[in-house]
Chain A
């Protein structure tokens, strides 16, 4: 099993729609989980940490399922500016990244 698996997409979603991504991880000892977004040829930018109880930040909701070893990201009311590649990551010190899920919001 790969360390991290993400559906690479692309996801082409109309503006205003809701979209969700999952990311599975193999290391059950992982303690910290994050979602980053990466625009083309730019650095990863922290979107949100993922907490065991689930957390929300505006239109974004992150969930962690330790039993099934996956994290998820839900984006509601998607905007054109949400178009990016979304990277899941986890780690105890170093971060291990997924390959990213490419999202394009269509007007």
Chain B
């Protein structure tokens, strides 16, 4: 069964440094998402991406965050200047159509630890 893949599985970074989290969505999917989950808390939506542009973003997704689809397969999340509170699991997800047609499938996540 096709799956969403994410790299790295664990990223440790000094506060203030930039990080790039990478995702390869399922190949025929058109909608891409990033979510995060702080330890012990619920999964929170960050951003959705369709047709090479952001379609929706949450309050969490401020100017420090950006997303990109640099080629036909990768989907990246960049955090420009990391803060301690950015420490969380970051999940990429994709769906074939809008969520009202198809559910979202999640990658196994990147654990981001900010020191």
Q: Which residues of A contact B (CB under 8 A)?
A: 31-32, 34, 38, 41-46, 49, 87, 89, 91-100
A-B contact count (CB 8 A): 57
Interface size on B, residues (CB 8 A): 25
Task: Please pick, from B31, B89, B107, the residue contacting A41 in the complex, using a CB distance under 8 A.
Answer: B89
Name the B residues within 8 Å of A99 (CB-CB).
41-42
Chain B residue, CB-CB nearest to A92: B100
Task: Please pick, from A32, A45, A46, A97, the residue contacting B43 in the complex, using a CB distance under 8 A.
Answer: A97
Query: In the complex the two chains form, is B103's CB within 8 Å of A49's CB?
Result: yes
Name the A residues within 8 Å of B48 (CB-CB).
93-94
User: Known contacts A93-B48, A94-B56; is A44 also within 8 Å of B91 by CB?
Assistant: yes
Query: In the complex the two chains form, is B55's CB within 8 Å of A93's CB?
Result: yes
User: Known contacts A41-B89, A44-B91, A94-B58; is A34 also within 8 Å of B42 by CB?
Assistant: no
Instruction: Taking A93-B99, A94-B56, A99-B41 as given, write out 8 further A-B residue pairs in contact, using a Cβ cutoff of 8 Å, ordered by the A residue number.
Output: A34-B103, A42-B108, A44-B106, A93-B48, A93-B55, A94-B48, A94-B58, A95-B33
